[in-house]
Amino acid sequence: MTSRVLMIDDDLRLAQIIEKFLMPSGFTFAHCTTGYGGMDWLAKDGNVCDLVLLDRVLTDIDGLEICRQIRSIKGPQSKASILVLSEKTDPMDPIIALDSGADDYLRKPFNPHELLARMKAILRRRGPMPVDPSQILRFGSLEIDQVMRCARVGGRPCKLTQSQFDVLVALALQAGKVLTRGHIMTSTDYRTSQLSLRAIDVQIWRIRQAIETDAKFPKRIITVNGAGYLFVKQQD
């Protein structure tokens, strides 16, 4: 089963590196740059994660205070595992973090392989949190996770940009119906001043490359000449 990770860290470059490193191991990834942003993410209905990668020193609030707040949440999110990442060298800091509710502590800079090993060890001990089935769209071997904003085919992560994922969700939520390019644009965050309707065709092609067995002969997203696109409701 895929494990869902939320990283709360103001280092965008580090977050991008970790996301790229974790994807081949089957993790799905969400990122917030502030502590309050992370708490807002956790508070949203349907947002769930198995493990939180938490920066010890955040720009808006102490990381350990966020750790304590997560543990005080009423609901399943309080059970998420927490791995604190820190540049602090004080030998007492790991002890304070564990007393604050963290499951483990890793000093920066760290080897990504050690991070992955620690994450797997934590998750083995605690087990994954339940998935809200209403937030995952399933069409045969294709799964679209609206919480972690990722798609998988046969359990394999699909390489999609955020805008491509938005287009895929817009189509999937209207499975079985023909959507015009204009409808797709208004259902996503596209701005007509920045992208032409023709750009939707390019995005559809790239989505097909990610989710279809053969993008030249699509079975999931069908072109309806003169009308738009149809997301097939019944799939393999």
**CA separation for the pair 83, 194 (Å, rounded):** 40
Q: Which domain holds residue 180?
A: 134-231
* pLDDT tens track for 99-122: 988 999 999 999 999 999 999 888
- The pLDDT of residue 191 is 45
Residue after which a domain boundary falls, among 126, 143, 176: 126
CATH number of 189's domain: 1.10.10.10
Looking at the 3D structure of the chain, how many domains does it have? 2
181: part of which helix (H) or strand (E)? helix 181-186
Same domain? 216 vs 154 = yes
Contact 27, 6 (CB under 8 A): no
How many percent of the chain have pLDDT more than 70?
Answer: 89
Going across the sheet that includes 150-153, the strands are 136-139, 142-145, 150-153, 156-157
Q: Among 49-63, 75-89, 210-224, which stretch is predicted with the lowest mean pLDDT? A: 75-89
Same domain? 112 vs 159 = no
- Bridge partners of 136, per DSSP, are 145
Residue 236 lies in a domain: no
Residue 18 lies in a domain: yes
The answer to whether the pTM exceeds 0.85 is: no
Same domain? 145 vs 122 = no
Q: Among 5-19, 31-45, 85-99, 116-130, which stretch is predicted with the lowest mean pLDDT? A: 116-130
Same domain? 86 vs 194 = no
Task: Please provide the average confidence, as pLDDT, over all residues in the chain.
Answer: 86
Contact 220, 161 (CB under 8 A): no
CA angle 39, 5, 153 (to 5 degrees): 130
* pLDDT tens track for 41-77: 888 766 778 899 999 999 999 999 999 998 888 777 7
Same domain? 65 vs 146 = no
Strands annotated E in 147-220: 150-153, 156-157, 178-179
Mean pLDDT, residues 5-12 taken together: 93
